[in-house]
Structure 1
Amino acid sequence: MSTAPHWSRRMFARMNALLSPITFSITLDDHRTVSRALRPLPGDRILCLASAGDTPLNLLVHDPAEVVAVDLAWPQLHLAALKVAAVATLTRTDLELFLGVREFGGDPAGARLRIYEVLRQDLSADAREFWDAHLGMIRRGVVWQGAVQRIAPLGGPLVRLRRVLHGQSWSVDDNPYLLPLLSRRMPAPDRLPPYLAPHSHPAVQARAGRIRLVHSGIREVLRDGSGFDCVALSNVADWLTREQVDDLLARVAAATRPNARVLIWSRRRRMRSSRPLSSVLTAQPALQQHLRHTDRIGYLRTVLVLNRLESS
């Protein structure tokens, strides 16, 4: 069976490349869904996707020992590195200004460039080179510069209509994910994701150094690593064949500790496997159903929450 991504994924990737080198500048993984599925404990080692950097930063509220954030796309890693450096260094007001969450003063674009000059010394050489070549994205606020964030407002009316047909409000002002996605506005401070929220930002800032960014595929990290207590795989299954899903789950079983928690979902199709779950992984059907219906993005077709058991 071919291991090439489905044609729709290839078209999606090409369209994104035309709009921006960064696909996601805001991670479309509801932090509430991730936390409820993983139930992280202080001292846990967590593996997740880097994406736009939001998920690894949000997970710091749980006081993990380490968050290993993985991505194959260098631009996503450079964005994550910039956000981590900003969170670690800036006051919350300057962080909101720099990222583009809020506009302050008469020259926000100039202020962002001045802040970047301070932050760039904390970036790797590759990340500095990338951002030095994309200062326009810095000036405009990086949270709005992803290809998805640029094009998604065009589909806003359809998403709002779908919400109404499902018995929800036309307004998305109370939704911290759909509001910036469809309206290019950030929610009120008490609805911001944890790494930006007033009550949790200090803890996240103090723990920012616990994030380790890795340029790799998730399956390779699972093959070479071990001892993870939580694994958040987002929708990686959408890009895999059935055989590759089987391989992914086998690697999860091998790389996690007993009682580890795993979250994986599918956005484009039902996640398919050609074999039953490993004997050391058990699904949580009630929780899966609950999370699928309470996720605030609202387009998950399958949610799989797994617990790692003791080996038999």
Structure 2
Amino acid sequence: MISYLGSIVKLLTTEKNWLLYTTSNEDSQSELTALNISSTDDVLSITGSGCRSLALLANEPKSLTSVDAVPEQNYLLELKLSAFEALTYEEVLQFLGIHNSDKRLQMYEKLKPLLSDDAAIFWDKHKEKIKQGVIFTGRQERFYRNVVLPIIKFTRGNIISKLLKSRSIEEQRILYKKLNTWLWRRSIQTLCRRSIYKFILNDPSYYAYSEVNSLADYLISRLDYTFTHHPIKENHWLTFLLSGNYIHTSSLPVYLYPCHYEKIRRSRHKVKIVTAPLEKYLQEVPDNSFDKFSLSDISGWMSEHSFEAILSEIIRVSRNRGIFCYRNFLSKRTIPENLTSHVQRLDEVIKFLNENDRSFAFTFEVGMIKK
């Protein structure tokens, strides 16, 4: 109990200024499907943990511009990109923290010359995080690993272990019936108090612009669907939540699939990293500059006015038949009606993503821009 409370105190105090995200809570295959990126496309992406931007390189676009208002999140993307350039595939997994290694600092010295000066200064100050394996050091990741996971293991650890070894959806559905008890749902309700996410994580997507009455009820309904439709061993986010790691090769984030390593490595030089608020950056971009836009869950981070302003700018800077994709979490925003004369909502794509996205908490909007 002392250790458990200590984890919470550390997140509230010494960790409060650290990176919010260091791994992905999204299924980047959804963006790859929605955007259908080709070698002639100029792509714009929100950085976040860097995982989605990296995944988009798997289709080897002409260029990729990754934007974030938080410089440290961009430093993380730089670190991951440099790891792909300087390290073998197995070394990337070791360096990030998925596989064990006592040589991460030596690996860092190998890739450090590839970093910008600012990124190198930042990571030199945080070598302890690199030594730990940076992919699981974010405030969100530490919260789930050190606060949520112990509760899950305490309440339903035996069933969870069997679920992670399920060999079929049918077997998984049977086990989920055993998992989905009053105690399971009560545990989720306890962990889904918005005050937790506001004061421990300070992640506004959980509370600032929510249109969902009950976070717990919403997540339970989404978990019900995921456990009964998607193999857990192919679900990197749920595998991480239930075990604290990626325990199968098939449950790695999309950018870490073995088949994508060489393509991302070849495409590193195509990446431009921009530190600026998205709306401000877009205002400086010329008309007709991009073909595809991966916007993560921006709807949950800003007012409706700012959200609409960003979509308006995206229409301006997009080429004809450009495609944008964004995720909705607790803020459920469709494409604004006053923009529909310029945007064709791709209903079939949206339906497919909503049914097949493995991150379970999101729904989608996908639009094609008409000029």
TM over 0.5: yes
Partner deviation per Cα, 1:226-266 (whole Å, 9 max, x = no partner): 41110011111112222222211110100100011100122
Counterpart position of 2:166: none
Which of 271, 275, 281 aligns to 2:343? It is: 281
Displacement of 1:194 in angstroms is 4.0
Counterpart position of 2:141: 149
Cα distance in 2 for partners of 1:214, 1:188 equals: 33
Counterpart position of 1:100: 97
Counterpart position of 1:252: 314
Partner deviation per Cα, 1:166-222 (whole Å, 9 max, x = no partner): 472598333122212442211422443343222221121111111111101111222
Which of 40, 59, 68 aligns to 2:37? It is: 40
Q: What amino acid is aligned across from residue 297 of structure 1 in structure 2?
A: S
Change (3 A) 1:42 1:73: same
Cα distance in 1 for partners of 2:232, 2:123 equals: 32
Displacement of 1:69 in angstroms is 0.4
Displacement of 1:292 in angstroms is 1.9
Change (3 A) 1:177 1:16: farther
Q: What amino acid is aligned across from residue 261 of structure 2 in structure 1?
A: H
3-state DSSP class of the match of 1:276?
helix
Q: What amino acid is aligned across from residue 287 of structure 1 in structure 2?
A: V
Change (3 A) 1:16 1:213: farther
8 A Cα contact 1:253 1:278, kept in partner:
no
Counterpart position of 1:168: 227
Change (3 A) 1:290 1:130: same
Partner deviation per Cα, 1:92-151 (whole Å, 9 max, x = no partner): 111111111111xxxx23x00011111111111111111111111000001011111111
Cα distance in 1 for partners of 2:13, 2:235 equals: 25
8 A Cα contact 2:30 2:357, kept in partner:
yes
Which of 47, 50, 67 aligns to 1:70? It is: 67
Displacement of 1:80 in angstroms is 0.6
Counterpart position of 1:11: none
8 A Cα contact 1:246 1:275, kept in partner:
no
Cα distance in 2 for partners of 1:65, 1:171 equals: 34
Counterpart position of 1:216: 276
Counterpart position of 1:290: 352
Deviates more, 1:142-151 or 1:50-59: 50-59
Of Structure 1 and Structure 2, which has the larger fraction of its residues in helix? 2
8 A Cα contact 2:226 2:360, kept in partner:
no
Which of 32, 48, 55 aligns to 1:58? It is: 55
Change (3 A) 1:267 1:17: farther
8 A Cα contact 2:299 2:331, kept in partner:
no
Cα distance in 2 for partners of 1:124, 1:58 equals: 21
Change (3 A) 1:164 1:307: closer
Gaps of 5+ in 2: 1-10, 153-187, 189-215
Displacement of 1:63 in angstroms is 1.4
Asked which structure has the greater CA Rg, the reply is 2
8 A Cα contact 1:38 1:262, kept in partner:
yes
3-state DSSP class of the match of 1:305?
strand
Deviates more, 1:198-207 or 1:166-175: 166-175
Q: What amino acid is aligned across from residue 41 of structure 2 in structure 1?
A: D
Cα distance in 2 for partners of 1:140, 1:58 equals: 23
Change (3 A) 1:167 1:232: closer
Cα distance in 1 for partners of 2:50, 2:226 equals: 32
The number of residue pairs the alignment matches comes to: 291
TM-score by length of 1: 0.85
Cα distance in 2 for partners of 1:222, 1:287 equals: 26
Counterpart position of 2:111: 119
Q: What amino acid is aligned across from residue 149 of structure 1 in structure 2?
A: E
8 A Cα contact 2:35 2:323, kept in partner:
yes
Cα distance in 2 for partners of 1:248, 1:264 equals: 12
Query: What is the percentage of aligned positions where both structures have the same residue?
Result: 23
Gaps of 5+ in 1: 1-13
Cα distance in 2 for partners of 1:238, 1:176 equals: 22
Which of 167, 186, 204 aligns to 2:264? It is: 204
Partner deviation per Cα, 1:78-103 (whole Å, 9 max, x = no partner): 11100000011111111111111111
8 A Cα contact 2:300 2:329, kept in partner:
yes
